[in-house]
Every structure is written in C-alpha cells, then in structure tokens.
Amino acid sequence: MASEHSLDISAKIDLQAFKDAIAQAEKEVIGRYDFKGITYEINYREKEKQLILLASSDNKLDALKDIVIGKLIKRGLSSKALNELKTEDASGGARKATYKIVDTIDAKEAKKIVAEIKNLKTKATAQIEGEHIRVKSKQIDELQKIMAAIKGMEWEAPLVFDNFR
C-alpha cells in the first residue's frame, strides 16, 4: 500500500478523439439538407492548434459550431477546449471563425487552482509541475474531495484529472 497518493490536474486533450470529432462533424454537415449547395469549411490546423470554421452566413456558422461542439462532447471532450479568437468576414460574403485549441492551464489559472486547493483546508499539498498540477495526500478520500470541489468550480481550461494513484 502506498504511503502517499497523488493526482494530476491538467488540460490536455485526447488529440485522436478531437480529430475523430472533427471528422464526424464533417460527415454530418455533408449529410444535412440545410448545408446543401452552401459554402462551408471545417479546417483543423494541428501545428497552430487552431480550428477554423467558414460558412456562408452567421446562422450557418453558429450551426457549424454547434455541430462541432456536439461531436466533441460525444467524444468526452469539453466544449472549453475551443476558445474563440475572432469572427470575421471572409471572401465571397462568407463568415469565418477562428478558435484556439486549449490544451494547457495558463500560469495564472494554475495558481488559482492551487490556492483553491489550499482553501479547502485539507492536509493535501498541491504544486505546479510544468503543464499540470500535482496534488499529494496520505488519504485517497482527501484527493477525491479535492477533485469534486475543483470540478464543481468554473474554470477557463477544460480540466482533466488523471494519474490517480
């Protein structure tokens, strides 16, 4: 039996599940009657960590975003994985939305999470280690309590709890 248990909090996303969700969204759009004969595009740029949606109008752009988010949620990914950078006019009267893919916890938010863990007044310790937060405790119950409390709060990043030992 381990003398100390740990838990990692990060914002990493399953890239394969993300790609599969995008592919499924494209398949659904192809089959939808309201997109027949309309210009649209779903462009995932892996190196830039961006998703670009292009549609003929704002309404179609919103529908496209709803489809993508629905597919992400079905794959167990948070809708917070997409952070809208800008929506702008594109050529031919179309609208273009650019989204940043959020897969890290920024330093400011990581500090807030550590502070919230300390505010819970448990005997657990939390420290920032690169792109994740490691929480350690002698009792598994404390880690579960912390996990439940952090999940119940509103955060910018899509938090993932893993390496629960």
- All domains of the chain in start order, with CATH: 5-12+104-162 (3.30.70.860), 15-101 (3.30.70.990)
Q: What are the pLDDT tens digits along the chain (165 aa)?
A: 457 888 888 888 888 888 898 899 888 888 888 878 888 888 888 888 888 888 888 888 888 888 888 988 898 888 888 888 888 877 777 888 888 888 878 888 888 888 887 887 878 777 888 788 888 888 788 888 888 888 778 777 777 777 667
SS3 content of the chain, % helix, strand, coil (to 5): 40, 30, 30
What pTM value is reported for the model?
A: 0.77
CB atoms within 10 A of CB 86: 9
